[in-house]
Amino acid sequence: MLVRLVRRGGWRRVVGGRGLVATMRTENRKRKAEDRSSTPIAGLWLPADWCDVTVLVAVSGGADSVALLRALAALRPGRMGGLVVAHFNHALRGQASDADAVFVTRLAENLGLPLEIEKADPDTVTPAPGDRKVAEETARNARYQFLKTVAARRGARYVATAHTADDQAETVLHRIVRGTGLAGLAGMRQSRPLLYGVSLIRPLLGVRRDDLLLYLRRLGQPFCEDATNRDAAFTRNRLRHELLPQLAADYNPQVIEALLRLARLADEAQEVIAAVVDELAHRCIRAEGNCVLFDCAASAGQPRFVVRELLMAAWRRQAWPEQAMGFQQWDELASLAQREKSAPSLLGVSLPGGLRAWREGDQLLIAPAEAIA
């Protein structure tokens, strides 16, 4: 008889009767149960929440995403639901990028999972000298557009990414160094809407990277190493390999935990603010086409930071780009909204994205500059 030994990836002839086969099946079931209980996300994202829907798993080939895929595959009870592997080849590292794609393809085949793969046009992502950051941002936007497209076509309920607790700490530290507000200190959310009916979820956000590496070693599962992750030209790499180790060595050995705690506290505070903003938004914000009308009288008496949050909410409803809007711009808008009606009238303020804001009585109007002419 032939018995498939999954761990060895092949077939072996065994000699013996049904008792031996039954024993092997029992051992396999025990091993699978142990694998499920020891996965990094056991207890963090319960299979009951996702086993009967399609989950698109973003897999780069690196340790974090490979660990996420192996953990989800181990947790999926009775092969229920659908896991779909998604890999976007950024084409930023030439043959190394192509090798990652080959690795992910073979991994998906070994796990018996369908694969969606796409390669970026090298002409659109190859950086000019000094423009590597622009290329990275372009590649990131292309990756998320790919995930959205595949999720819609596959009818996925979730898109799972492999951001870890270490990524969260690095994100918070990066924002502190760069300058941020309370929402920025909250770091990445565990989940957020990606499309209508589709959520982006980060099941590993509470898991340390070292635990994932240990999990992969226990499985004997290889993964890809991205050499650019150690390139000191990137701020995030310097934070990871230089600043965080220095902070841990010279100031606080628990700096990662401290940053994660700060993120949790900021997120709790932001939830309270969001509830206040949601309650006020229907009274303060009205949209007419591509113009936002903000009722300054309805927001009178509110703290400055609440007015800023209301203006951010109005901005997001219009899907205007936020990247170029810093604290100075948001505070300038809030100042205009809180200006006394009797104060001298201003011509308004120019804002990133070709937008302009001005006061008309109790109304603050924000619209594209060309719409005003």
pLDDT tens per residue, range 31-61? 454 455 567 777 788 888 888 899 999 999 9
**Which range among 45-54, 212-221, 269-278 shows the weakest confidence by mean pLDDT?**
45-54
Whether the full predicted model's pTM is greater than 0.85, yes or no, is: no
Return the H-helix or E-strand segment holding 177. helix 165-178
Pairing of strands 355-360, 363-368: antiparallel
Domain assignment present for residue 266? The answer is no
**Token pair for 190:** 């565990």
pLDDT of residue 9: 35
Kindly state whether residues 88 and 205 are assigned to the same domain.
yes
**Token pair for 277:** 């903003």
Kindly state whether residues 2 and 102 are assigned to the same domain.
no
Domain assignment present for residue 277? The answer is no
Kindly state whether residues 10 and 128 are assigned to the same domain.
no
Number of domains the chain contains: 3
Q: For residues 199-207, give the mean pLDDT.
A: 96
Which residue range(s) make up the domain with 8? 1-37
Instruction: Report how far apart, in Å, the C-alpha atoms of 343 and of each of 149, 306, 337, 365 are.
Output: 50, 22, 12, 17
- Hey, what amino acid is at 343? A
Q: For residues 326-353, give the mean pLDDT.
A: 80
pLDDT of residue 348: 80
Q: At what angle do helices 95-111 and 63-75 cross, to 10 degrees?
A: 10
Domain assignment present for residue 204? The answer is yes
Closest C-alpha to 123, from 110, 112, 139: 139
- Tell me which residue has tokens 């899907």: 319
- Residue 20 makes CB contacts below 8 A (sequence gap 6+) with 14
Return the H-helix or E-strand segment holding 192. strand 191-195
**Token pair for 271:** 């939830």
> With contact defined as beta carbons under 8 Å apart, do 108 and 60 qualify?
no
Domain-ending residue, one of 182, 213, 243 = 243
Kindly state whether residues 197 and 137 are assigned to the same domain.
yes
Kindly state whether residues 162 and 89 are assigned to the same domain.
yes
How many Å apart are CA 160 and CA 350, to the nearest integer? 39
Domain assignment present for residue 268? The answer is no
Q: For residues 109-125, give the mean pLDDT.
A: 85
**Token pair for 58:** 């973003």
pLDDT band at 304 (very low <50, low <70, confident <90, very high): very high
Instruction: Report how far apart, in Å, the C-alpha atoms of 281 and of each of 284, 285, 337 are.
Output: 5, 5, 14
